[in-house]
Amino acid sequence: MKTVEVTRPKNVQPGVRVPGTMEIFLGILRKEGIRGVNRGVNAVALRQISGWASRIGIARFAEGQIRTLQSKPADAKLSIWEKMAASTVGGALSCWNQPFEVLRVEMQSLASGQTISSKPTMASAAKRILATSGPLGFFRGVVPRIGVAAWATICMVGFGDIAKEYIGDALVKLKYPYGGFLDGIHMWSPHMRSGPTRIMGPAVTVKMVEASNNTAPKPARHFADCNRPNGIMYIQQPKGLYSACWGGLMSTRAKHLGTDGVIVDGRVRDIAEHQEIEFPVFARETSILGSNTFTRASEIDVPLQFKDDLWISPGDILVGDREGVVVVPPKLMESVIGLCQERFEIDEKTFAALRDGDEMGPTIARLRK
């Protein structure tokens, strides 16, 4: 699907139909076979393997250096701010492998009239880049990727040591409605309620209405185009509708815009397409029906009521993984982080005591005061 997105026509004249994802996919398959669909797969594999290994390895090394600079023991716990700093370093330095990403794009974006045989290998693509752009050509686009990689590493490595459940517990302690938990919404992609995927970012809210509603406002552009880099789109569909309001084409667009994921209080479809491009999608349920005749977007970036006193407002921080989704108002973020760190340290001591054979009741009474 990366090949499909790269080869999709970008400068289409108004009124000209843009071919769909499956149409482009089948066209490439018929013309060039499975090899054409998988152009650049070697570069993708090298980028993914080296990227995540570097993010985790460098972030952990940076954590060790922070302990050394502060004369802390090797097993000392770091504050959330120290973890974020180490993760930022790990994410930024992991972009040393940008040449693999440039090779991937070069191999997948064959010029008009060329065939797969004209650039069959990473070596031939590398020669082309050197000839047209020089050595610096291998690092084109590295600056925005550094920002994305740093944020992704903060979420998956830095915050990965603090379970999302702690956020909900912290919000309960702060008396926030329902602990910010968006009950009934689950992860469908990139895996069905499994895997290490975690998203975290500011909300871009979308209010949907029934298609028959002629009085509700209409947005100036398609709501999928309102996605923002590192944001998370939250879509609220009218209750009781059995159609989907999000599909594979929209995920393709959102990923291109740099969105971290989408959360739908309603139904989605095209699960295989979301999973194919590894785009995080959370929703209540699925449907085989599209949205056209059933529902439409009405308002963008407006407060939306999830349940009773629990609202999602533009800019609220949404956090989601295989366990579910919580929402955190920015004004509570500092307090939540402090409580999460405190709870994390208490639980570490509790686990250690239980592993040593201590009884559950007295241990909890002693540590969780």
Binding-site positions for substrate read 247-250, 269
β-partners of residue 310 are: 307
Closest C-alpha among 60, 62, 64 to residue 72: 64
Rounded to the nearest 5 percent, the helix, strand and coil shares of the chain are 50, 15, 35
Could you please report the per-residue DSSP string of 296-356?
EEEEES--EEEETTEEE-TTPEEEEETTEEEEE-GGGHHHHHHHHHHHHHHHHHHHHHHHT
Q: How far is 311 from 204, CA to CA, in rounded Å?
A: 13
Q: Is 69 helix (H, G, I), strand (E, B) or coil?
A: helix
Task: Tell me the one-letter amino acid at 272.
Answer: A
Q: Looking at this protein, which amino acid is placed at residue 1?
A: M
Residue 190 preceded by cis peptide, ω within 30:
yes
DSSP one-letter code for 158? I
Binding-site sequence positions: 247-250, 269-270
Ramachandran angles phi, psi of 308, nearest 5°: 50, -115
**Residue positions in the annotated binding site for Mg(2+)?**
270
Scored b (16 or more CB within 10 A) or e, 234-252 reads bbbbbeebebbbbbbbbbb
